[in-house]
Chain A
Amino acid sequence: MTVVGTTPPPRLPVRDRTAARERYAGGVSPMLTRLAEERATGVLDREHGTLHLAEGRVVHAESPLAPSLGVLLTAHGALDAETWRDVEDSAEMERLVRYGVTPGALELAQVSALYDAAYFALAPSSTPGRFRYGGAHWLASVHPVPVAGLERETLRRRALLRRLWPDPATDAAPLIRADPVAAPVVPSRQAAVLEHVDGVRRAVDIARALGRPAFHTLVHLRRLAAAGLVAAQPPPAPDPPPDTGADPYVALLKRVRDALEAL
């Protein structure tokens, strides 16, 4: 009598996360690390922002999720908006100084805007980054930052937000005011953020309105969320299921899909 044994099914391939982590040694973007090693000059486009490199160092950053240097400088009257456009069009740094922005103030604002936009540009992305070799940005000489330092700071910032309040919901969603039973006293800089919470604006909108770095706004919002004063607008209720009586499988498949998406 022969015993027919069934071969066990092959193991599903699973990505070894620990190995991947070790390979990149805590790096945020392997591509950026490589560009730093080869001292590249050009522009790295990532899903949530753009990093400008000059000789392997990051000299400027932009992100749709962070107010630009122009917004930071113009929002509180350090420079008027028309002058900023004029300077940006000419791409001449000396003009800023001529219009009364001192080198120290420019450096402070630029380094603040750089780390701010880089935090979002280096956020985990679902599409690969793209690098275009080219000339250096017109603000390249203001305050170049080494890639390793920028990546370390970005990781530190993620950890800081997690420590303040672990739920990232307030980072990106429209925000609403919550009404805690015993509302704590809110410090003035957080109160300015709270005043702009209206059920429509997101963190980045509030940052732009205040002319304040977006990461600072995220910090304030996490503190406000921890105090129970702010919450993310819950997503709109799903549409009532359409009448799919004709084909019961469609309804079943949709329920399966919804359940999978909710995982």
Chain B
Amino acid sequence: MPGIDECLLETMRLPGARGAALVDWTSGLALGTVGDPPGGDHETAAAEAAELARLAAEQQAFGPGDGTEPADPPVEDLILSNRDSYHVLRFVPTSFDSSVFLYLWLARADGNLALARIRLGEMAERLVLG
């Protein structure tokens, strides 16, 4: 059963992983970081990713369209790409009120986005459910 650090270290075992963090998107706090920070500084990167996650999580339009009650947050993950890397943000559902997401910075040349998405989802679940 993993804690925050074990979860992040496991994230780094994904091919192409450059850096990872667990971030609170209400406060912008990085609860844990590992590897290289995107933009050169983990704390700044966490605060900026938190702002993006908040915008995505708070818009009902991004929720599922099947008419069911949307979860909190309604969004599962968020993927950004640029010329040489991906940024994948995976929201972590918890049994108490929280607002955290797993944040993976992935090199585009060696990374596999589909695999990373699936594994991040599994890890987010295992972090909380054990």
State the A residues within 8 Å of B (CB).
72-73, 75-78, 102-105, 107-109, 111-112, 115, 143, 152-153, 156-157, 160, 187-190, 210-213, 215-216, 219-220
Q: Which residues of A contact B94 (CB under 8 A)?
A: 78, 105, 108-109
Distance in angstroms from A146 CB to nearest chain B CB is: 13
Q: Which residues of A contact B45 (CB under 8 A)?
A: none
Contact A216 B29 (CB under 8 A): no
B60 interface residue, CB < 8 Å from A?
A: yes
Interface centre among B7, B96, B98 (most CB of A within 10 A): B96
Interface centre among B1, B3, B100, B130 (most CB of A within 10 A): B3
Contact B72 A75 (CB under 8 A): no
Contact B97 A212 (CB under 8 A): yes
Q: Which residues of B contact A104 (CB under 8 A)?
A: 1-4, 7, 126-130
23 A-B residue pairs with CB within 8 Å: A103-B130, A104-B4, A104-B126, A104-B129, A105-B94, A105-B128, A107-B3, A107-B4, A108-B31, A112-B31, A115-B27, A115-B29, A153-B29, A156-B43, A156-B47, A160-B27, A187-B58, A187-B59, A188-B60, A188-B72, A216-B27, A216-B99, A220-B26
Interface centre among B24, B26, B128 (most CB of A within 10 A): B26
Contact B99 A189 (CB under 8 A): yes
Q: A75-B97, A103-B3, A156-B28 are in contact. Are A108 and B58 (CB under 8 A)?
A: no
Q: Which 4 A-B pairs have the closest CB atoms?
A: A102-B130, A187-B58, A78-B95, A104-B127
Distance in angstroms from A105 CB to nearest chain B CB is: 5
Specify which of B43, B58, B96 is in contact with A78 (CB 8 Å cutoff): B96
Complexed CA–CA distance, A160 and B27 (Å) = 8
Interface class of chain A by DSSP: helix
Interface centre among B24, B43, B60 (most CB of A within 10 A): B24
Complexed CA–CA distance, A109 and B95 (Å) = 10
Contact B26 A216 (CB under 8 A): yes
Q: Which residues of A contact B7 (CB under 8 A)?
A: 104
Distance in angstroms from A229 CB to nearest chain B CB is: 15
Residue of B nearest to A143 (CB): B4
Interface residues on B, range: 20 to 34
State the B residues within 8 Å of A (CB).
1-4, 7, 24, 26-29, 31, 43, 47, 58-60, 72, 92, 94-100, 126-130
Residue of A nearest to B123 (CB): A104
Q: Which residues of B contact A103 (CB under 8 A)?
A: 1-3, 130
Q: A104-B2, A104-B128 are in contact. Are A76 and B97 (CB under 8 A)?
A: yes
Q: Which residues of B contact A115 (CB under 8 A)?
A: 27, 29
Q: Which residues of A contact B59 (CB under 8 A)?
A: 187
Q: Which residues of A contact B92 (CB under 8 A)?
A: 108
Distance in angstroms from A118 CB to nearest chain B CB is: 11
Contact B28 A160 (CB under 8 A): yes
Contact A108 B60 (CB under 8 A): no
Interface centre among A72, A75, A104, A112 (most CB of B within 10 A): A104
Q: A104-B4, A104-B7 are in contact. Are A211 and B58 (CB under 8 A)?
A: no
Complexed CA–CA distance, A215 and B43 (Å) = 18
Specify which of A105, A143, A219 is in contact with B96 (CB 8 Å cutoff): A105
Distance in angstroms from B72 CB to nearest chain A CB is: 7
Specify which of B26, B43, B72, B98 is in contact with A108 (CB 8 Å cutoff): B98
Complexed CA–CA distance, A210 and B27 (Å) = 17
Q: Which residues of A contact B47 (CB under 8 A)?
A: 156
Q: A104-B4, A104-B126, A108-B31 are in contact. Are A75 and B26 (CB under 8 A)?
A: no
Complexed CA–CA distance, A219 and B2 (Å) = 30
